[in-house]
Each structure stands twice: as C-alpha cells, then as structure tokens.
Structure 1
Amino acid sequence: MLRTIIAGLRARTARLVLSSVAIALGVAFVSGTLVLGDAMTASLRDEFAKGARNVDVSVTVSGRSSSPDEVGGITPETLAKIRQAPGVAGADPRDSQSVPLVASNGKAKPAWAVPLASDERLREFDLVDGRYPTKADEIAVDKRTAATAKLTIGQPVVLLGDGDTRHTYTLVGTYQQGTNQISLSGYDHVGLTPEAFQALEPERPPYQVVATAAAGFTQQQVVDNVRKAIGDTGFKIQSGEELTQETLERVESQSGEFTTLLLAFAIIALVVAAMVIYNTFTILVAQRTRELALMRCVGASRAQVFRGVLAEALVMGLTASVIGLFGGIGVSALLQRVIFSFGGGGGTVLLPVTAKTVIAAFAVGTLVTVLAAVLPARKATRVAPVAALRSQPDSGEEVSRTGVLRVLTAVLFAAIGVGAVVFGMGVDDEDAAMLISGAGTMALLAAVLVLGPLLVGPVNRVLGALPRALLGVPAKLASANAGRNPKRTAATTAALMIGVTIVSLVTVVANSAKETANAEIDQRMPADYTVTSAVYGRPLPRELADQLAAVPEVAKVAPTTVVYGEQEYFTGVTRDAIGTLFRPTVKSGSLADLGDGTVAVNAEYAKRSNVSVGSVVSFKPGRGEAQDLKVVAVVEGQRLSDGVMTMETSLRFEQGAEGYESILVKLKDGAVNGRAAVEKVTDPSPLAVVDSAAETKEQLNQQLNQVLAFIWALIGLAVVIALFGIANTLTLSVLERTRESALLRALGLTRGQLRLMLVVESVLMALMGAAIGLLLGIGFGWVLTEALSTDTISVDLVVPFGQIGVMLAGAVVAAIVAAALPARRAARTSVVAGMAEA
C-alpha cells in the first residue's frame, strides 16, 4: 500500500502543486507572524532593558504607571534620604515632560525632555556623536530628532518652558534613544542636565529615582536600607532585577497583542486554504473512482483506502509546511522592513526561529491539510469495487439526497444569526452590541456557506446571462460547466467569498465611520479656521484672541478653554459663540439657561453619569477644589468634551484661567486672503497652529485610509489563496475533461474558443464568490454601523461604490490570470490524444 501511495504521489505531483502553494502561503503567514512576534519581543527586550541596566534600586510613587505628565513625585527631601541610605553609591532622578521644541520655521512641535543622570552608569541612552551636556545651557537630542529637525552639533536649540519662557541651548551631542514608551509615541526627544530640566518647570518633582549599589552590598540589602530610610507608604521600591522583570513582562504583553492581531488574519487565510484542500481532494477522489475501485478489487480494505488518501494529504502538508516555514522567515523580514519604514527607516532585521515557530508551522500545515482531506477520504471508502468496470469515472455531482438537511441547517444558522443581530442592535452597551451582532453575522455567513450549492444555479444564471448573450457558444458552455457541479463550484467560490466579505465589510464600516466623522466635524466646526496649540497641555495666550478679532477680514472669534477633572472634562465658550460658532444639538433643556455656575452636558456623559436637566454635578478639577454645577441642558454633536460651560464658569478653575485651548475664527463674507491675514497674526506665536475643517477631515481620512490599507493587505493573502483555489479547480477540471474538450474540438470548437470557455468559467466562479461576498459584506457592514450607533451619534451606512467596482474588476482580472495556464494546457492538447484519454 505504501508503494501505491508513493507511486500515486509521483503521478499526481502537478495536480497537487497549487494546493500545496495554498497551504504554504497560510503556513508562511503563521510562521512569519510568530517570527515577527519573537523578533519584536527580542528587540523590545533589549531596548527596554536599557532603562534598567546598572540599576540596583528603583523608587517610584505608588499608583503611578510612569506617566510623565502627572505631577506629584519624589521630593528633594526624599531624594536626599535615598542618597544617604547605607549601600547607595549614587542616585539620580528620572522624569520626562512634554515641552515645545521650536523648529527652524519658528513654530513649536511636541517633544519629550528628560534629565540625563549625572552618574554615567545610570544613563538610559547610548551616545552617538559629540558628548553629553554638562552645563545648564547645553542639550543633547536623540538621533532621530536630529535628522527630522535637521539639527547639527553646535546649533542653538530652543525649548519653551513654564509660562512659555524661551530656553536656548547649544547642541553638544546626539544619542540613540532606543525603544521605550516615549520613542514609540513618535515625538522628538531631548536630554538636559538635571538642573536645566528642573528649570523648565521648577515646581515639578521627579516620578522616579534610580540608584546603584556600593561595593559589598547586594541589591536586596540596598532595597531594604532604602525602605527603612523613606518608608513604604506612597512608594514602590524595587530591586534592579524586579524592575527588569516588570519591564520585560510589559514588553511581552505589548508585542503579544500585535502578534495576536496578525494571527487572527493568518487563521482566516488558513481557513480559506483548508477549503482549497478540501475541494482538491474531493475532485481527486472523484477522478480516481476507477483506481480506488481497482484497489478494492485486489484486496484493499476501506481503512487502507482511507489511510492512503490521508497519507497523501500528510505528505502534501509536510511539504507545504517546509516551504511555508522558510517563506514565513521572508515574510517576517518584509514586515519588519515595513515597520522600520514607518519609524524612519532605521532598525536591524531579526529572524529568531524558535522551536515554537517550527512546531507551529508543521502542526498547522499538516493538521489543516489532513483535516481538510478527512471528508474526501471518507467518501473514497464508499467507492464500490464494481465501479472499476465502468469505462469512465462518474465525476459529475450525484443528485443530492441531503437537500432538505442542507436547507434546514441553513435555516437554523440564519435564525440564530438574525436573532443575534436583532438582539444586538437593542443592546445599549456598544461593546456588547458589537460582540453580539458580530456573532450574528458569523452565523449568517455560515448559513450562506451551507446553502452555497443551492445558490450556484440561480446566481450562475444571472451572472452568466450577459456573457452568454455577448460571447455565444464558449460562454454558454462555460456557464453550463460552472453550474453542472454545484458542490464543487460552491466549495471553490466559498473561499473567495469569505475573503471578499471581510474586505467589503471593513471597507463599508471604515467609509461609514469616515463620513460620519466628516459630517460631525462640519456640524461642530462652522468656523472657517480653528487656531489650536501645537503642544498638548500648552494653552494659547489670551491676547491672541483679541489680536485676531482686530483683523479686518475676521467677522467673529470665539476662544474656548478646557478644564480636566478626575473623570470628565468640560469646554468653556463665550456666550455669544453659542449657536453661531459653537452649535451643539440640544436634546433637552435650553442653552439659553447656560450661565455662571451651570453646564450643558453631552448626552453620552449624561447617560454614563445618570444625570439630566436639573441635576447637580460635583465637578472635581485636576487642580483645585470641587464645585457644584447645575445641568441646564443635554446636548449632542459636541464630541470633544463631556459638556459645555460659559467662559465665566471656566475661569473659576485654575486650568481655565491659564489660557485658551483653541480660538474659532469666522471670516467676513467675501473676505479675500483670509488665511494669510489670520496667519500673519498667529505666526509670531510658536504654539499657534491654524487648521480648517477641511484639513481636519483630510487628516482623519488619511488615518482611516492607512488602517484600511493595512487590513486590506492582511486579508489580501486570503483572497490570493482563494484565487489559487480557482486556478487549481480549473487545472483539475481540464485534466478531468480531457476527452470532453477533445470532443468539442472535433465538433468544431477552435483553440481560441476553448481558451475563452475556460476563462469565462473562471470569471463566472470569481464573480459568484465576489458578488455574494460583496452583498454579505455590505449587509454585515450595515449591521455593525447600526451596532455602533448610540443615542449620541448615528453612524449612517455609506457604500463606496467606486471601491466596490475596483474589487469586482480586480476579481475579473485575477480570474483571467488564474485561467491562463489551465486554458493554455487545454488548448495545446491534440484532438487525437484527448479522444484516446481513458
């Protein structure tokens, strides 16, 4: 039996190649993702560990997560006690704060500043050029910042300190920052002496102190001594080893989330590949009816036939696993290059191939292939020995005796799906609604897959009508071929249908979210321009609003403030701006009642906090005492904050009195060169940035398009595998229909018409999968947009017909390419040789 299996594999090598490629692509995705995850973990481990190198003791404020902008850290008295503790050789504070870096064009951009430890052993960074600063008027920047800001050693660098005071430094060196939470933010990075750093914000205490141990002391001894010196209350005291372990655990968690995301798409690709394998073995078993029957005649048992088919699948899976494993290494290298390109192009490609990756590649490749072949193998055991007497194998689809069962199963899935969707739409919690509705769409997809063979006939007749009318006999034959074996056609198109469903679903939801966001921007930004601060947390100077109001081209300005609380934040606006430049939609109450000591809350906040018109909100700001605010209205459409208060009310709070968060600018009708006039006023202020609603929408659209392109690229592999499935089915069908093709040629069909017939058949199968997938994707998109809609915002369904047209056109082109080789092979077979085929 083993020799028979080996001989069969040799004879059918060409027929199994495309199927092996499908599995190899799926395995490559899985192994590439695992290699990428291990590479990211290894790289992040090395880089994040730099923050803990040479650290024997770490002291942080309890409850802090190293968040740089939270004030309330380690006092000078506590630092002195740490330095005086027995066994402490040296101790330096660590901190970071967001500061505006004034670029060469005079405008500020956000940057992170850190104090560079006086003890060189405790510095987190590696010097690249020059030296570290030793004076208060010197500065070093990381290599990426120097490149993007075009800074060279010896140049002046300007930072804005507390109260927007200008601090000018001389650049004396550059360093490699490595990977940490700040570098991952993409912001510029600068290093100062501890004294210069403190001068930026004199009242700011550091959030962490790190120390080295003196000779003769262990880390634990120094930890115990520091704990005795400062006490446990309010502090988290760790040894260097504990700090390193905590850092590595955080790294593994972060890289693991990204790996899980990629693996989800890899699983989709594997499901599609499994469908291709199932279809391949189903066709091969049908083609080998006489061979299997002869094996039964000469004594092979049902079990031997079953094991023989699975053995072929096992060999195919092992081969595909080897190819996929090495292909995955290349995929990982490519993905790392793509990631590096987003981060500025730097980085070393790491390709760690662990035992876990190798085992996963072989397990996935072989298990998916073997499991996909189980049903065809089971069908092979049902071939009766008498079938060996037939002159031709019966490759046609047998009359379905499971039609009723198939319909009942599909109805069951559909009922579950519709019920879940309807129930999910009625759930108030957005996350729960998405989860339940998403499960419902999966059940509906399963219903369509089960019903697939029964849908082939009607869909084929509709899609084939135009080709039959335009292309004549070849198209009629192609349509007949696509429809005469419904189960095979359904299995072939199902893989493509799944890929197109997901792509169209994501596309519809993304475009719906985009249009909803654009409409809301138009609604809440009726101003021509909005002047905002380039650096988060740095308010605009108050005099800027008066200067803009004096511009002849400007009709009206409306400054806004923001006050952050412990759980919410409110926007302050001038009374005369409400209803003109600031116009939220009122759900209850009246904005006319908005006065000193009152607030109009966002509908989402009202629901979350269980407040309504007449309620009193106790608002506790980040700095200062809590104050009671009476709710006079519930509004929606103002999504930037939890509520609106008058400017007078916001001035009660320290943060509201510091300056403006933004300034809305409305031009006079017919104003010419209005932007230039506005920028003439804002240019002297390094913090002021002028944006229009159109620019805001463009930035948002770019971000959504990037996410959409990323998902398209990930799910694209599943679509490619599905197209391999179509090519594979056509190839096997050409071999199966050799005598039929020769007979058609003998009856007058030309080589060109034969090629056209196979191309049209391929296009029809691709269009079946794409058309059903698009309909499902659009329908599921509507379900999810309804689930995303809340009492405060309605997400309207937007169907991007242009992108859908591109998908259909792409499916047609890909189908033509997939049919090229099978059509060429069929056309090259001579009539005599084809008629002689047994």
Structure 2
Amino acid sequence: MLRTIIAGLRARTARLVLSSIAIALGVAFVTGTLVLGDAMNASLRDEFARSARNVDAAVTLSGTTDARGLTPQQLDAIRRAPGVAGADPRNSAPVPLIAANGKARQAYATPLATTPELREYDLDQGRYPDADDEIAVDARTAESAKLTLGQSVELLGEDESRRSYTLVGTYTQGGSEIAMMGGDHLVLTPTAFTGFSRDELPYEVVVAAAPGVSQQQLVDDVRAAVGADGLSFRTGEEMTRAQLAQISSQAGEFTAVLLAFALIALVVASMVIYNTFTILIAQRTRELALMRCVGASRGQVFRGVLAEAVVMGLVASVIGLLGGLGVSALLQKVINSFNGGSGEVLLPVAGTTVLAAFAVGTVVTVLAAVLPARRATRVAPVAALRSQLDSGEEVARTGVLRVLTAVLLTAVGVGAIAYGLSLNGDEVAAYISGAGTMALLGAVLVLGPLLVGPVNRVLGALPRALLGVPAKLASANAGRNPKRTAATTAALMIGVTIVSLVTVVANSARETANAQVDERMPADYTVTSSVWDRPLPEELADRLAAVPQVAEVAPTTTVYADRAYFTGIGREALGSLFRPVVVSGSLDDLVDGTVALRQEYAEEQGLAVGSTLVVKGMGGGEQSLRVVAVATGNRLADGVMTLETSRRFERTAEGYESIMIKLRDGAGDGRAAIEAITDASPLAVLDSAAETKEQLSEQLDQVLAFIWALIGLAVVIALFGIANTLTLSVLERTRESALLRALGLTKGQLRLMLVVESILMALMGAAIGLALGVGFGWVINRAVSSDDVSIDLVVPFGQLGVMLLAAVVAAVLAAALPARRAARTSVIAGIAEA
C-alpha cells in the first residue's frame, strides 16, 4: 500500500503541487503575521528599553494624590539620598516649532538629562546642546521639517514671540511616554527648558545607583529621604517589566487583526483543497475500485488519501513559511512608510512560528481532505467494471441535514441582526449584527448547490445568446454538478462578500462624514490653531471681520469640564453659522448664564429644559447654568453656551478655539484676502469644508486600500481554486472534449467554452458576494447609526463594477492554461481514453 501511495504521488505531482498553492498562500499569511508580531515585539522592546536602561529606581506620583507633579524640593531630596549617583526629571512642555512655511508645528521639548546614563535617547549626529541658545531635535523631526545641523531654528514663545536657537545635533528616541505624544520632539538645556515649561512639574524622576547599591536598597533609601506620601516607587526591573507588558499588549492587538484576515484566507484555502480532493476522488473512482478488488480495505483507502493530504500540507507549509518571510518584510515596509520610511526590517523566526506554519498547513489540508477521503471508502469494487466520467451528484440529492443547517443558520443570523439593530448605535450592536451577517453567509454557503442552477441560468443567458454553442456547452458544464460548482465559487464568494461589505460601509461612512462636515462647517472657511494648547488671539477675529469680502465672523471657544466639554459661541452666529436641530426649548433663550445641551448628554445626566447644570472647569471655576434648550448636532460638543459664559472659566479666558468665516456673495477673491490676514500669524491655519472632505477621503482611502490588500489574498486563493477546478475538469473530460472536437467543435470554440465556463463560475461567486456585501453593509450601517448620526447606505457602483470586471479578467486568466491543454489534446487519443 505504501508503494501504491508513493506511485500515486509521483503520478499526480503536478496536480498536487498546483493544489497546494492555495494552502501555501494561507500559510504565508499566517506565518508572515507571526513573524511581523515577533518583529514588532523586538523593535518595541528595543524602543522602550531606552527609557528604562540604566534606571535603578523611578519615582512617580501615585493615583491617590492631587499633585500636578514632583516639586523641585522633592527632586533635591532624591538627589541627596544615600546611594544616588544621579537623578533627573522626566518632563515635557509643548513648544511650537516654526516650520519653513512660517506656521507653527506641534512640538514637545524635554530638558537634557544631567546624568548621561539616564538619557532615553541616542545621539544620531552632532552633539547635545551645551548653551541655552542651542537645540537638538529628533531625527524624524529633522527629516520632516527639513532641518540641518548649524541651521537656525525658531520656537514660538508666549504671545507669539519667536526665539532662535542653533541646531547642534539630532538624536533617536525610544518608545517613551513623551515620544508617544506624537508631533515633533526637541531637547533644550534645563535652563532654556524652564523658560517654556512655566509651572509644569515633572511626571517622573529616574535615579541611577552608586556602585555597589542594589536597586531595592536604592528604592528604600530614596523613599526614606523624600517620604512616601503621594508617591510611587519602582525598581528599574519593575519599570522594565511594566513596559514589556505594555509592548506585548500593543503588538498583540495589531497581530490579532492580521490573524483574523489570515483566518479568512485559510478558510478559503481549505474550501479549495476540499473541492480539489472531491474532484480527484471522483476522477479516481475506477482506480480506487480496482484497489478494493485486489484486497485494499476501506481503512487503507482512507489512509492513502490522507497520506496524499499530509504530503500536500507539508509541501505547502515549506513554501508558505518561506513566503511568510516575504509577507512580513512587505508589511514592515508598509508600516515604516507611515513613519517617513524609517525603521529596520526584522525577520525573527521563532520555533513556535515554524511549528505553527507546519501545523496550520498540514492540519488544515488534512481536515479539508477528511470528507473526500471518507467518500473514497464508499467506492464499491464493482465500479471498476464501468467508466464514470463525472461524480453525478445532483441538487436532488441535497440532504435534509443541509437544509436544516441552513434554516438554523438563517434563524440565528436574522435573530442576531434584529437584536443588534434594536440597540440603537451601541458599540456592541456592530459586533452582534456583524455576527448575524456571518451566520447568514454560512447559510448561503450551505445552500450553495441550490443556488447554482437559478444563478447559472440568469448569468448564462447573455453568453448563450451572443456566443452560441460554446457558451451553451459552458453553461451546461457549469451547472452539471451543482455541488462542485458551489464549492468552487464559495471561496470567491466569501472574499467578494467581505471586500464589498467593507467598501460599502467605508463609502457610506465617507458620505456621512461629508454631510457632517457640511453640518459642522456651514461657514466658507474656518481658522484654527496649529498648536492645540495655544488659542487664536482675539485681535485676529477683529482683523478678519474688517476684511471687505467677509460677511460674518463667528469665533468659538471650548470649555473643558469634568468628563465633558462645551462650545462657546456668540449669539449673533445662532441660526447662521451655527444651526443645530432643536429638540426642546429655544436657542433664543441662550443668554449669559445659560446652556443648551446635546440630547444624548442631557439624557445621560438626566437633565431637561429648566434644569440646572453645574459645570466645573478643568482649569478652575465652577458655574451653575440653566438649561434652556436640548438639541442635536456634532458642533454642539456636549453643549453650547455664549462666549460671555465661557469666559468665566480659566482656560478660555483669552483667545479663541476657532473662527468661522462667511464670505459675501460674489466675493471670488475672498480666500486670498483672508490669507493676507492669517499668514501673519504662525498659529492660524485656514481650512475649508472642501479641504476637510478631501483629507477625510484620503484617510479613508488609505484604510480601505489596506483592508483590500489584506482580504485580496483570499480572493487570489479563490481564483487559484477556479483554475485548479478547471484544470482537473479538463483532465476529467478528456474523452468528452475529444468527442466534441470530432463532432465539429474547433480548438478556438473549445477554448472559448472553458473560458466562458470559468467566467460563469467567477460571476456566480462575485455576483452573490456583491449582493450579500451590499445587504450586510446596510445592516452594519443601521447597527452603528444613532440618534445623533445616521449612516445612510451608499453603494459605490463604480468600485463594485471594477471589482466585478477584475473577477472576469481573473477568470479568463485562470482558464488560459486549462483551455490551452484541452485544445492541444489529440482527438484520437482522447476518444481512445477509457
């Protein structure tokens, strides 16, 4: 039996290798994701290790204190403690950096640590600053801002005053808390830093131990010297462990998303393998029957088929493991491109990754081959006496179990969707409704053989009318074995369903976001600050209002309160540049000392018109405000008050959050006139609704392209499945094709028949997938919609049409080799085949 299995593998090497490509692609995705996760862990460990290196003790504020940071007195006490070789504060301050265009960029400055060993960054070029008029910047900042050593760098001080520094060095930093803030980063001397840090206190003090002092002893000495009230103490080892736990969490979340797409690819690949073995078993009916005749038992036949699956799985695992390294390198290149192209490509191959590759490749292949292998054991020895050209499975043989399974999945799916839609935009609603759509997808997969006939007749009508006999034969071939055709098209249907679902949801979100932009930005232009903690000067609004082309100017403020924030706006803008939908009360009553609340916030707080809301500002101050209206609209934040009311809170005492501008009718040169004012301010950034929409579209397109690329692998695997099915079908129908040739069918017509058959199978999967994707997209849109934001269904017919066309083109390519092989087969040899 072993010799028979080996001989069979040699005879079918080409078929098995072609079939193993599907599994190899799935394994490559899985192993690539695992290697990427290990690479991210290694990279993040290196990044975060810099913030903990040489640190023997760390002192931070505990969660029970209201202090804003560690005081200079506490820092001095730490430095004087026994066993301390050096101690430095970890702190940052927002220090806007003036870019080449004259506008300020969000940047954060840190003081240069006086103890070199405690610096959480490495020198890249030049040196660190020695004088108060010198500066060093992060290497990424230098690259993005086009800064070079020796160049003068301007920072924005208070009242938009500019301070010049000489760039003396660049550095690379790890994954510290400061680095995670984003923006630009720079280092100043402690004295120069004090000029920007105002009253801000360090969030942490790191300590290096003197020789011979253990970390625990150092912590005890520092605690005794500074006191434990309101402070938390950690050894360097504890600090490192905490950061490594954070690393594992961050990398794990990202790789979990990628593994979800890898799982989809594997499911599709397993369906291809299942279909492949089903066809192979059908083609080998006489061979298996002869084996039974000469004494092979059912168990030996079963084990023989599984042995072929094991070999196929092992080959696919080797190919997939090597391909996974390339997938990981490609993904790292894509990720690094978001950081300006910086970052090293790492390819760590752990033993668990290798084991996972072989386990996934082999186990999935064997599991996919179990049912066909069981079917092989049912081949009766008497089948050796006759020729069976096709498996002969018909829709009429669809079992009761299949129908009951489909009914159960449909009931579960409809129930989950109905329950998810009843949650009214709750976060859980999307997950529950999404699970319901996947249950309905499973029901369609189970009912696939029943759908093949009707769908094939509809899709085949046009080719039959235009292309004649070859198309009629192709349509008949596509529908002659519904179970096989359903299994072939199911893989493509899954991929197209998910792709179209994501595309519909993304485009619906885009249109909704654009509508929200129109609602939130009824003004022609909006001026905002390029630095989040620097408000726009009040005189800027006055200068803009004096521009002849400007009809109306409406400045806004933001009041940050405890777990809420409110918009301040002038009464003159109500109804023109600020148009929320009033649910109850009236905005005419919005005067000093009153507030209008967003409906959702009012319901959460149990407030209504006439209630009193106590607002505690984050910067100090507490006001009791009477609720005069409840409204909806994103521009509201959690509520809206007049500018006069917002001025009572410390953080909004001076300056504006934004300035909305409405132009006069026919003011064609309005933007140029406005820019003449805003260009003079390094903080003022001019934006329009059209520009905001364009930015949103670009971001959404990037996300959509990334998801398309991930799920695209499943579609590629599905197309390999169609090619594989056609190739095996050509071998199965060798005699039939020869008879058609003998009856007058030309080589070109035979090739056309196979191409049309491939297109029909691809269109079946794509058409059903598109219909499901659009329907599921509507479900998800409804599930995530709320009273504030309703996401309407937007079907991107252009994108879906391109997807359908791509499926047709891919189907033509998939049929190229099988059609060529069929046309080259000799008519006499084909007829003579038993």
Aligned-pair CA distance for 1:460 = 0.2
Is the aligned partner of 1:782 residue 2:750? no
Q: 2:642 is aligned with what amino acid?
A: T
Is the aligned partner of 1:238 residue 2:239? no
Change in CA separation of 1:197 and 1:638 when aligned onto 2, cut-off 3 Å: same
Match of 1:256 among 245, 252, 257: 252
Distance 2:389 2:810 in 1: 31
Aligned-pair CA distance for 1:334 = 1.3
Distance 2:721 2:628 in 1: 63
Match of 2:408 among 402, 409, 412: 412
Q: Is the 8 A contact 2:424 2:784 kept in 1?
A: no
Aligned-pair CA distance for 1:179 = 4.0
- In structure 2, the residue matched to 1:624 is 620
- In structure 2, the residue matched to 1:308 is 304
- In structure 1, the residue matched to 2:83 is 87
Q: Is the 8 A contact 1:198 1:204 kept in 2?
A: no
Q: Is the 8 A contact 1:763 1:812 kept in 2?
A: yes
Distance 2:226 2:604 in 1: 41
- In structure 2, the residue matched to 1:75 is 71
Q: 2:614 is aligned with what amino acid?
A: S
Distance 2:550 2:387 in 1: 91
Change in CA separation of 1:658 and 1:18 when aligned onto 2, cut-off 3 Å: farther
- In structure 2, the residue matched to 1:339 is 335
- In structure 2, the residue matched to 1:145 is 141
Distance 2:37 2:324 in 1: 12
Trace 1:183-332 onto structure 2 (pairs within 5 A).
Answer: 183=179, 186-332=182-328
Distance 2:318 2:582 in 1: 63
- In structure 1, the residue matched to 2:31 is 31
RMSD: 1.5
**SS of equivalent residue, structure 2 residue 650:** coil
Q: Is the 8 A contact 2:491 2:718 kept in 1?
A: yes
Aligned-pair CA distance for 1:604 = 2.5
1:173-198 CA distance string (max 9 Å, x none) = 11122444554555221111122112
Deviates more, 1:503-512 or 1:607-616: 607-616
Change in CA separation of 1:614 and 1:19 when aligned onto 2, cut-off 3 Å: farther
Trace 1:788-827 onto structure 2 (pairs within 5 A).
Answer: 788-827=784-823
- In structure 2, the residue matched to 1:52 is 52
Aligned-pair CA distance for 1:49 = 0.4
Change in CA separation of 1:302 and 1:64 when aligned onto 2, cut-off 3 Å: farther
Q: Is the 8 A contact 1:424 1:436 kept in 2?
A: yes
- In structure 1, the residue matched to 2:739 is 743
Q: 2:170 is aligned with what amino acid?
A: T
Trace 1:349-364 onto structure 2 (pairs within 5 A).
Answer: 349-364=345-360
1:57-91 CA distance string (max 9 Å, x none) = 111122399xxxx9911111111111111111111
- In structure 2, the residue matched to 1:365 is 361
Deviates more, 1:635-644 or 1:468-477: 635-644
1:498-523 CA distance string (max 9 Å, x none) = 00000000000011111011011112
Aligned-pair CA distance for 1:324 = 0.3
Aligned-pair CA distance for 1:18 = 2.2
Corresponding pairs, count: 834
Q: 1:652 is aligned with what amino acid?
A: R
Is the aligned partner of 1:763 residue 2:752? no
Q: Is the 8 A contact 2:395 2:450 kept in 1?
A: no
Deviates more, 1:201-210 or 1:396-405: 396-405
Match of 2:114 among 84, 108, 118: 118
- In structure 1, the residue matched to 2:558 is 562
Q: 1:274 is aligned with what amino acid?
A: S
Q: Is the 8 A contact 1:325 1:358 kept in 2?
A: yes
1:303-358 CA distance string (max 9 Å, x none) = 11111111110110011001100110111111111212221112221111001100
Change in CA separation of 1:164 and 1:63 when aligned onto 2, cut-off 3 Å: farther
**SS of equivalent residue, structure 1 residue 608:** helix
Is the aligned partner of 1:97 residue 2:93? yes
Match of 1:720 among 708, 716, 728: 716
Distance 1:278 1:294 in 2: 24
Is the aligned partner of 1:3 residue 2:6? no
Q: 1:4 is aligned with what amino acid?
A: T
Distance 1:345 1:595 in 2: 53
Trace 1:494-505 onto structure 2 (pairs within 5 A).
Answer: 494-505=490-501
Aligned-pair CA distance for 1:392 = 3.4
Distance 2:175 2:77 in 1: 31
- In structure 2, the residue matched to 1:607 is 603
- In structure 1, the residue matched to 2:645 is 649
Change in CA separation of 1:535 and 1:713 when aligned onto 2, cut-off 3 Å: same
Aligned-pair CA distance for 1:166 = 2.5
Q: Is the 8 A contact 1:18 1:725 kept in 2?
A: no
**SS of equivalent residue, structure 2 residue 584:** strand
Distance 2:600 2:609 in 1: 14
1:545-601 CA distance string (max 9 Å, x none) = 000000111011000000111201000000000110111111222111111122111
- In structure 1, the residue matched to 2:476 is 480
**SS of equivalent residue, structure 2 residue 634:** coil
Distance 2:443 2:342 in 1: 48
Q: 1:360 is aligned with what amino acid?
A: A
Deviates more, 1:241-250 or 1:30-39: 241-250
Aligned-pair CA distance for 1:615 = 2.5
Q: 1:293 is aligned with what amino acid?
A: A
**Percent sequence identity over aligned pairs:** 74
- Segments of 4+ moved more than 6 angstroms: none
How does the TM-score come out when normalised to structure 1? 0.98
Distance 2:430 2:605 in 1: 22
Change in CA separation of 1:391 and 1:151 when aligned onto 2, cut-off 3 Å: closer
Q: Is the 8 A contact 1:524 1:584 kept in 2?
A: no
1:190-235 CA distance string (max 9 Å, x none) = 1111221121032111111111111221111110111112222322
Change in CA separation of 1:61 and 1:640 when aligned onto 2, cut-off 3 Å: farther
Distance 2:382 2:606 in 1: 77
**SS of equivalent residue, structure 2 residue 447:** helix
**SS of equivalent residue, structure 2 residue 680:** coil
1:351-397 CA distance string (max 9 Å, x none) = 11001100110110011000001111111111111111113354222
Match of 2:663 among 667, 673, 677: 667
Distance 1:324 1:182 in 2: 40
Is the aligned partner of 1:536 residue 2:524? no
Aligned-pair CA distance for 1:630 = 2.1
Distance 1:475 1:283 in 2: 23
Is the aligned partner of 1:772 residue 2:771? no
Aligned-pair CA distance for 1:296 = 1.0
Distance 2:74 2:565 in 1: 33
- In structure 2, the residue matched to 1:12 is 12
Q: 1:45 is aligned with what amino acid?
A: R
How does the TM-score come out when normalised to structure 2? 0.98
Change in CA separation of 1:587 and 1:504 when aligned onto 2, cut-off 3 Å: same
Aligned-pair CA distance for 1:689 = 0.2
**SS of equivalent residue, structure 2 residue 453:** helix
Q: 2:437 is aligned with what amino acid?
A: T
Distance 1:607 1:450 in 2: 45
Q: 1:54 is aligned with what amino acid?
A: N
- In structure 2, the residue matched to 1:109 is 105
- In structure 2, the residue matched to 1:700 is 696
